[in-house]
Amino acid sequence: MTARVGIGYDSHRFAPGGPLILGGVRIPFDAHLHGHSDGDAIAHAVTDALLGAAAAGDIGEMFSDQDPANRGRDSMVMLRAAVARVRARGFAPQQVDVAVVSEQPRIASHRDAMRAAVAAAIGVAVDAVSIKGKTNEGMGWIGRGEGLACMAVATVTPLASPRTG
Ligand code: MG
């Protein structure tokens, strides 16, 4: 069974007023992630990683930011829709690993809740989801606290072929 890997990246700018939604978790914070949807950069990076592993398009093509229907959309619902597309292309998500680069908020105390939410959305065990927080050592736009970035890799394997005969 050959595993395939995909990569995803997303960034969002902070805007005044919380809560901040990340990894499907509402984090008490004085800013939120500005975006057409709810701005959940973990969900968006994981979505693109899974779609990439299946060579099944990308989040911008699935959920246009020009479409009013996507305004304020729950990104975990978008992630579930992407998983459905990946499965329709014949692949099952196996595992994801995420790096969050942010000066604030620190995510350590929310990590397990995020892992559980992402695992539920993509249909894997919690121990198949890794989420790690990093700062940017004060450098650049992340260091100045203008926003945060997420990187994700995901693996998928072919779905078992239906038995015939
Ligand atoms: Mg995004």
Could you list the pLDDT tens digit for every one of the 165 residues in the chain? 699 999 999 999 999 999 999 999 999 999 999 988 899 999 999 999 999 999 999 999 998 888 888 787 899 999 999 999 999 999 999 999 999 999 999 999 999 999 999 999 999 999 999 999 999 999 999 999 999 999 999 999 999 876 665
Burial (CB count within 10 angstroms: exposed 0-12, middle 13-18, buried 19+), residue 129 = buried
Comparing CA positions, the residue from 14, 20, 85, 13 lying closest to residue 47 is 85
Distance 165 CA to ligand 1 centre (A): 45
Distance 149 CA to ligand 1 centre (A): 9
Distance 72 CA to ligand 1 centre (A): 12
Q: Kindly list the structural domains of the chain, giving each domain's residue range(s) and its CATH number in brackets, ordered by start.
A: 4-158 (3.30.1330.50)
Distance 100 CA to ligand 1 centre (A): 13
- In sequence order, the 6+-apart residues with CB closer than 8 A to the CB of 26 are 19, 20
Cα distances (Å, whole numbers) of residue 137 to 12, 89, 126 = 18, 40, 29
Distance 161 CA to ligand 1 centre (A): 34
Distance CA 14, CA 147 (A): 5
Distance CA 150, CA 165 (A): 46
Distance 21 CA to ligand 1 centre (A): 12
